[in-house]
Amino acid sequence: MDPNEYSWKRPDPDPQPRQEKPRRPQSRFRPALIPIAVVLLLIVSIFFNSFYELQEDEFAVITTLGKPSVVSTSGLKFKWPFIQQKTLVSKATKGFAIGYDIRTGNSIPTESVMITVDYNFVNVDFYVEYRVTDPVKYLYNSADPVGILKMLCQSYIRDTIGLYKVDDVITTGKSEIQAAIKDKILARLEQEDLGITLVNITIQDAEPPTVKVQEAFKAVETAKQDAETATNNANKYANEVLPAAQADADEVLQKAEAYKTSRINEANGQASRFQKLYEEYAKYPEITKQRLFYETVSDIFPEMKIVIAGKDGAEMTTVLPLDDFVQAGKEDGKQ
C-alpha cells in the first residue's frame, strides 16, 4: 500500500470557480426587413422631392429634361421627382455699392476716383439697385449677370462723370448725372438681355480727393449760398417795393389823365363861348363891343360903381355894377 495514498491534503481556502465564455446574443434583425426599409426611404425621398413651397418674393425655375419653365405664383407646388429640377430666384430688389465697401463703409479708390471734364479729380460713391425680371435669362444667358451689370455701371459712370465739371458733380448736377447714367444702363441692359433691370442708381457721396480741395469747394459752396440768400432778399424787397411804386405811378397817371381831361373840357368851353360871342358880335357889333367892355370893367373893378348921366340933366343911369343894370333892364322889359 502506498503510504501517500492515505496522506491528508489541506483544502484550498478560496477555490475559484471555472469561468465560462460569454455567449454572443443572437441577432434579431431579419434579412427580410432590408427591402422594406429601402422602399420606405425611397417613398420619403420621392415625397420630399415632389413638393415644394414658393414664397411671394420668389421665382421657381423648373427644368424638365433640360427645358426650363417659370413658376411665379406662391404656394405649395408639385414637381416630378428626379425628372424636374427646381431653382429659386428672388424677386426682391437688391443692390450693391460702387466706390466703397457697403459693410465697412471704407472707400475703394480704384472705383471711386474719377476725372471730370475740367481735369479735376473727384471721389464719387454710387449705390445701384436692380431686380430680376426674367429668371430663365438671369440663370442661363450669362454666368454672372450681376457682375456684368456692375461693370456696365462702372463704365457708364466714368463716361458720364467725364462730361461734367467738378463743381456740377459735387453740388448742382447730381440729379442730372444720375438720370443720364440710368438711361444709358437701361438701354445697354435691353441689348444684353440678361434678365435683370436697373431700378435706381444714386450718388451717395461726392467730394474732392484732398483736404485742401475739399476746403476750397466748401468755401465756394458757402459763397454760392450767400449769393443765393442775397438774391432772395433782393427779390423779396423788390416784391415789397414794386407794388407800392406801381400804385403810386398809377395814381399819378390817373391824376394826369383827369387834369388833361379838365383842361381839354375847359379849352373846349372857352372856344365854344368865344364862338358864341363871335356869332353875337357878327349880328350886333356895337352892342357886343359895349357888353364886352362893361364885363371887362366889372371884372377889373368889381367894387366900382359907374353912373352915366344923360344930356342936359337927364335922368342918370347906373351902369356898374352890371347886376343892378341888368336887373333894371329886366324889370323895364316886364313893364
Q: What is residue 287's predicted lDDT score, i.e. its pLDDT?
A: 76
Please give the Cα distance from 115 to 90 (Å, whole number).
37
- Which region, left, alpha or beta, applies to residue 158 given φ > 0 means left and ψ of -120 to 50 means alpha? alpha
**Residue 200: its pLDDT value, please?**
95
Cβ(121)–Cβ(165) below 8 Å: no
Place of cell 471555472: 18
What tens-digit pLDDT sequence spans the chain (335 residues)? Answer: 444 444 445 555 555 555 555 555 555 556 667 777 766 777 776 766 777 788 888 888 888 887 888 887 777 877 777 787 888 899 999 999 999 998 898 989 899 989 899 888 889 999 999 999 999 999 998 999 999 999 999 999 999 999 999 888 988 899 999 999 999 999 999 999 999 999 999 999 888 766 666 666 677 778 878 888 888 888 888 888 888 888 888 888 888 988 988 889 888 888 888 888 778 777 777 777 777 777 787 777 776 666 655 566 555 555 555 555 545 544 554 44
User: Residue 224: its pLDDT value, please?
Assistant: 79
Count CB-CB contacts under 10 A for residue 150.
17
Q: How far apart are CA 319 and CA 315, in angstroms?
A: 13
200 touches 186 (CB < 8 A): no
Q: How many residues does the chain have?
A: 335
CA-CA distance, 157 to 169, in Å (whole number)? 11
Residue 137 has a pLDDT of 92
Cβ atoms of 136 and 68 within 8 Å: the answer is: yes
Residue tagged 442775397 (cell numbers): 230
- The dihedral through the CA atoms of 60, 61, 63, 64 has a sign that is positive
Instruction: Give the span between the Cα atoms of 201 and 179, in whole angstroms.
Output: 8
pLDDT of res. 41: 73
pLDDT at 301: 73
Own/partner contacts of 182-189, CB < 8 Å, gap of 24 or more, are 184/156, 184/159, 184/160, 185/149, 185/152, 185/153, 185/156, 188/152, 188/156, 189/149, 189/152
Supply the pLDDT for residue 239.
86
Which pLDDT does position 22 carry in this prediction? 55
Spatial CA neighbour of 155 closest among 134, 135, 128, 118: 128
Helices 145-161, 174-192: crossing angle, 10 deg rounding = 140
Distance, in Å, from the CA atom of 126 to the CA atom of 202, rounded to the nearest integer, reads 6
